[in-house]
Structure 1
Amino acid sequence: MADAKICGITTPEALDAAIEGGARFVGFVVYPKSPRFLTLDKLAALAARARGRVETVLVTVNADDALIASAAAAAQPDWIQLHGVETPKRVAEVRPFARRGAIKAAGIASRADLETTRPYEPVTDMFLFDAQAPKDGLPGGNALAFDWTVMSGARIGRPWLLAGGLTPGNVKQAIAVSGADLVDVSSGVESAPGLKDPLLIAQFLAAAEV
């Protein structure tokens, strides 16, 4: 059993499906290259619809101060996720823009990659472990999985989400193999890039036994 984050929400229908299905978190992406990118107006509307019903995550990638400030003002997020190559210093700078804290994403291919997160522990409230991004690809949402056994028994100094290639069909196995308490899905519940399918969201949440 794991709590779930439905990431890359772009429509009220997907948001409602995530909330009604029992998701703990929903993610709103403000990375312009992503097919799940939200303008500030859309971000504000979806965040207002979600507020008080589910924990909201503002998903950023190497965002500058202006984008962080404007997006945080629009979303008033519970969490800010940093999915780029941000340094621990940058995480500490961005963290105050969210009510609850920062989530730092890391690309994982082997157990050794987990050691790269150690310097982030003092300034990070949660980690998100994803497959490493393909060259010239998006930093996340690529429907790529990594070897979940890497996480089995790993000692991580913060709560963490398992991400990368999860679907309604494999999330139960992923939880069992990795030991994850938290899971994150984006492309695995989409009918097209950037378009979440409410039925797939419901199926994913049921499979994760949220």
Structure 2
Amino acid sequence: MPTAAIKICGISTGDALEAAIRARAAYIGLVFFAKSPRAVSPAEAARLSERVAGRIGRVGLFVDADDALLGDAVGAAKLDALQLHGSETPERAAQLRARFGIPVWKALSVATAADVARADAYAGAADLILFDAKTPKGALPGGMGLSFDWSLVANWKGPLAWGLAGGLEPGNVAEAIRLTGALLVDTSSGVESAPGVKDEARIAAFCAAVRSAS
């Protein structure tokens, strides 16, 4: 099994960024959603992006964002991909993909097989589907440390590339990869010591666990 690509989401400090690079993650996630404890402004994201220097991919996370915020963030942070974490339709995903000319990842909240089946509608509109856990009504759309029944996406053979998120941490990510065959894994709260506070040792342990699963 090839080694899964790793995304460390919710990076908001230089130390966390450097920890992700040292641990050989493929991507960092920059959260442009003001209600999140991991949120960064376009200006803060720009300062972090200046330190990247081609060493890691930059994915911007958005929740039903308007074009003005998206444009500001893409320009400031030199994003390599957009991750849509709200109720964005396939039409909206396709529109943003065409406008900004970078890959679009669509996160889908999963609790049932019907939720997984929604991914098919994004064929040709998004570049990657990220299957995430469904959070309680009124809660933030991600970063809650919740997982879902991984058997729902075990070796999913849909029309798009896909990744796995939701409750992944150093102690369970290897099992998650073995059960699902995911080729990308995404963590945020699973490598934190407190909400929004990344733990460098947990980032290193998570990345090592991913590599142990291949």
Tell me if TM exceeds 0.5. Answer: yes
Alignment map for 1:23-172 (pairs within 5 Å): 23-96=25-98, 98=100, 100-172=102-174
Aligned to 1:185: 187
**1:98 to partner: Cα distance:** 5.0
Aligned length in residues: 210
Change (3 A) 1:160 1:64: same
Change (3 A) 1:170 1:31: same
How far apart in 1 are the matches of 2:161 and 2:124? 13
Moved >3 Å (runs of 4+): 96-100
Which of 168, 178, 192 pairs up with 1:176?
178
**1:97 to partner: Cα distance:** 5.6
How far apart in 1 are the matches of 2:175 and 2:4? 12
Aligned 8 A contact 2:155 2:182 in 1: no
User: Which stretch shows the higher mean deviation, 60-69 or 154-163?
Assistant: 154-163
Aligned to 2:197: 195
Structure 1 unmatched ranges of 5 or more: none
How far apart in 1 are the matches of 2:87 and 2:62? 11
**TM-score normalised by structure 1 residue count:** 0.96
**1:173 to partner: Cα distance:** 0.6
**Secondary structure of the equivalent of 2:12?**
coil
**1:151 to partner: Cα distance:** 1.0
**TM-score normalised by structure 2 residue count:** 0.94
Aligned 8 A contact 2:162 2:183 in 1: yes
CA displacement, residues 101-131 of structure 1 (integer Å, 9 cap, x when unaligned) = 1000001112221111211111100111000
Give the counterpart letter for 1:136 in structure 2. G
Give the counterpart letter for 1:85 in structure 2. S
**1:204 to partner: Cα distance:** 0.3
Identity of aligned residues (%): 47
**Secondary structure of the equivalent of 1:122?**
coil
Aligned to 2:16: 14
